Structure 1
Amino acid sequence: MPDALMLFAAGFGTRMGRLTADRPKPLIRVGGRALIDHALVLAEAAGVTRTVVNTHYLAGQVQAHLAGRDGITISHEAGAILDTGGGLKRALPLLEADTVFTLNSDAVWTGPNPLTRLAAAWAPDRMDALLLLIDSGVARGHSGTGDFAIGTGGCLSRGGTAVYTGAQIVKTRLLDDIDEAAFSLNRAWDRAIAAGRLFGALHAGGWCDVGHPGGIAEAEAMLAEAAGDV
C-alpha cells in the first residue's frame, strides 16, 4: 500500500462564510477536534509514514498548528491557488512516491478507516486510481446527485449516485504531460476513465462533508451516533 499521503488544506473555505474570516477551514473544530486532526488521526492509524499538507489561505495558522509533528511536511502554494491536481503535482518532490493516498481535510468519517479500506481494495495492475465513494442517499452534509456510476468490478464512469468522499489512491503518472500549474484532479480521472483504469470502492461507515456551516452540526451528530451517545 502507499506510505505517502497528500492532505489537501489550501482552500479558501468560502462556503463557511464568517467562520473562515479569521481562520482556515482545516482548523475549524468538529467534535472537539480540528478538521485537519480528524484526517491526521486516520493517516496515523493507517500506517502512513509521510504526509504532505498543502497550504495557501491563512497558511501560517496551519503551519503553526502542525509545527513539530513528525512525518508532516508543508507544501505552501504562494500566489494563485493550484486546485487539487496542481497542488498534488507541486507536492510530488516532497511525497517521493509514484503512488499516493490523497485525502481532503473537510470531511469527518465513522466506521472503517477510509485509507485502510482503499489499501485493501487497491490492485495496481489494473488501476490507475481508486476512489472511495458513498451512496448519495446516505452521504451527510452533501446536496445534489452523485459523481460516479460503479460498473462491473468497480470500474467507474461519470454520473450515477456514488459521491466521491475525498479519499483515493492515485498513480502520479496520471499528472504527466499536464502543463498547467493549476488544474483539477478531474483531469487525471478523465484520463483513467478513458483507459478503463478508474475504479471505486464503497465506504461502509458514515461520512459527512464539512464544507459549509451546517455540516458541523451534522458531523457532530454522526460522531455521537457512532459513539452510542444518542
Structure 2
Amino acid sequence: MSMPILFFAAGLGTRMGALTADKPKPLIKVAGKALIDHALDLAKDTDISKKVVNLHYHGDMIRDHLAGQPIIFSDESDMLLETGGGLRKALPLLNGNPVLTMNTDAVWNGPNPIRHILQAWRPEMEALLLLVEKRNVSGHLGKGDFHIDANGQLHRAPEAIYTGLQILRTDVLSEIAETAFSLNIAWNIIGARGGLYGTVYDGQWCDVGQPSSIEAAEAMLDV
C-alpha cells in the first residue's frame, strides 16, 4: 500500500544547546551526514507516494539543503504547531489517509524501519507505532512509552520506546480543538477506542536528542 510521509523538521532543538544556535537540528551531522538525510534515505526504495517536510526554525536552511529533491515543504514559520498541529496543517499537501510520519532526530541500524511498518500495517488499525525494546536503544533519556498486549494493541507503560515513526489514520485530528498540540492527544483518543497498535523494530535505534547522543549514534553505526 502506497502512502505519503511527513518528516518532522520544525522543532527548535533546544536540548542540543550551542549546536542549534545557528542551524536547525535536522542539519546536525552524524557520521558525516545530516540527520534529515539519514531519515530521507530510509524512504528510498520503499512504497512512499509523496514526501513532505515541515519547517519552522531556520526553515530556509533546510529548504536550501534539500533543494532539487522531490520534496514538498509545509511552512510553519508563523507558528510552531507541535506534531499534531503540524500534521494537520500538512494534510492538504500529503493528500492521503492513512499517512506515515517520521521524526528526523534519530539514526537506525538494521532493517529499513519504513519498510517494516508498512508491512505490519493492517486495515483494522487506526494508528500503528513502531517501537523498540530498551536493550536496542541508545541516547534516549525516557523511561519507556508503551506495553504491547497479545493482540498488538498499545497501553501506556514504561516499557517499549516509541521511535518516532508511525502510520496514522488522520480523521482523529478533526476531533481535537487545539491549534498546536502533540500527537499524544490523538493517540489517547485512538487508544481509548481500541485502535492504537504497535510493532517492534528488531534493529538498533539512537535518539539524537542531545549532544552526547551524536557519539552514541556513531558508535552504534560503528564509524
For 1:119 and 1:47, how far apart are their aligned partners in 2? 8
> 1:158-197 counterparts in 2 under 5 A?
158-197=156-195
Which residue of structure 2 aligns with residue 90 of structure 1? 89
For 1:144 and 1:211, how far apart are their aligned partners in 2? 11
C-alpha contact (below 8 Å) 1:55/1:74 kept by paired residues: yes
How far apart are residue 48 of structure 1 and its match? 1.5
Deviations 1:87-138 (A, max 9, x none): 00000000000111100000000111111111111012x2100000011233
C-alpha contact (below 8 Å) 1:55/1:76 kept by paired residues: yes
For 2:117 and 2:136, how far apart are their aligned partners in 1? 19
How far apart are residue 2 of structure 1 and its match? 3.8
Which residue of structure 2 aligns with residue 213 of structure 1? 211
Please list every run of 5 or more consecutive structure 1 residues that lacks an aligned counterpart in the other structure. Answer: none
Which residue of structure 2 aligns with residue 111 of structure 1? 110
Deviations 1:125-162 (A, max 9, x none): x2100000011233110123110111122100011311
SS at match of 2:137: coil
For 1:130 and 1:10, how far apart are their aligned partners in 2? 23
How far apart are residue 49 of structure 1 and its match? 2.9
SS at match of 1:87: helix
SS at match of 2:115: helix
For 1:210 and 1:218, how far apart are their aligned partners in 2? 8
Please list every run of 5 or more consecutive structure 2 residues that lacks an aligned counterpart in the other structure. Answer: none
SS at match of 2:199: strand
Q: Hey, which bits of structure 1, 4+ residues long, moved more than 6 A?
A: none
C-alpha contact (below 8 Å) 1:2/1:100 kept by paired residues: no
Q: TM-score, normalised by structure 2?
A: 0.97
